[in-house]
Amino acid sequence: MSIKLDGNNNFIILQKIALCVTFAIYCIVFCVMKSATLNLRISPSIKDGIKKAATIEHRSIANMIEILIRRHCQDNGIVINDNLESNGENSNG
């Protein structure tokens, strides 16, 4: 069975294929880039402070906490290995 398409339909099909490929690449990237979950309790005033700091720097609270931890580690000579498999940790920390 063959289907004849005009130029406009070909363009629409190519757009849909490109969208599918883009989504597949997105899924692959985020499957490879794992992140660990960290639950913690902090005082309301510290939470308020981190929210304000994150807002000022246009970051999420999670990203702001990560940046602060990275800065602290860098300032204190603590090496962070971003490759979870190579340092023996699993995604649960």
The pLDDT value given to residue 87:
38
pLDDT by residue (tens digit) across 45-75?
999 999 999 999 999 999 999 999 999 999 9
Dihedral angle at the C-alpha atoms of 81, 82, 84, 85, nearest 10 degrees? -80
In the predicted model, what is the mean pLDDT of the chain? 76
Are 87 and 46 part of one and the same domain? Answer: yes
How far apart are alpha carbons 69 and 75 in whole angstroms? Answer: 10
Are 50 and 75 part of one and the same domain? Answer: yes
How far apart are alpha carbons 23 and 52 in whole angstroms? Answer: 34
The pLDDT value given to residue 92:
42
Are 51 and 81 part of one and the same domain? Answer: yes
Are 10 and 26 part of one and the same domain? Answer: yes
Are 43 and 85 part of one and the same domain? Answer: yes
Are 49 and 19 part of one and the same domain? Answer: no
In terms of residue numbers, what domain contains 17? 1-33
Are 76 and 58 part of one and the same domain? Answer: yes
Work out the pLDDT band at 2, boundaries 50, 70, 90. Answer: low
